[in-house]
Amino acid sequence: MAQEVSINDLTDALSEGAYLIDVREDWEYQDGHVPNAIHMPLASVPENLEQLPRDKKIWIICQSGGRSMTAANYLEAQGLDAVSVAGGTSGWIAAGKDITFQEQN
Task: Output the pLDDT for position 90.
Answer: 97
Buried b (16+ CB within 10 A) or exposed e, 65-102: bebbbbbbebbbeeebbbbbbbbbbebbbeeebeeeee
Per-residue pLDDT of the chain (105 residues; tens, 9 = 90+): 999 999 999 999 999 999 999 999 999 999 999 999 999 999 999 999 999 999 999 999 999 999 999 999 999 999 999 999 999 999 999 999 999 996 555
Task: Output the pLDDT for position 49.
Answer: 96
Task: Output the pLDDT for position 103.
Answer: 59
Task: Output the pLDDT for position 46.
Answer: 97
Question: 3-state secondary structure string, 13-65?
Answer: HHHCCCEEEECCCHHHHHCCECCCCEECCHHHCHHHHHHCCCCCCEEEECCCC
Task: Output the pLDDT for position 61.
Answer: 98
What residues are labeled active site? 62
Considering the entire predicted model, what is its pTM?
0.94
At the second CATH level, the architecture of 3-94 is 3-Layer(aba) Sandwich (3.40)
Under 8 Å between Cβ of 104 and 36: yes
- DSSP one-letter code for 102: S
Task: Output the pLDDT for position 17.
Answer: 95
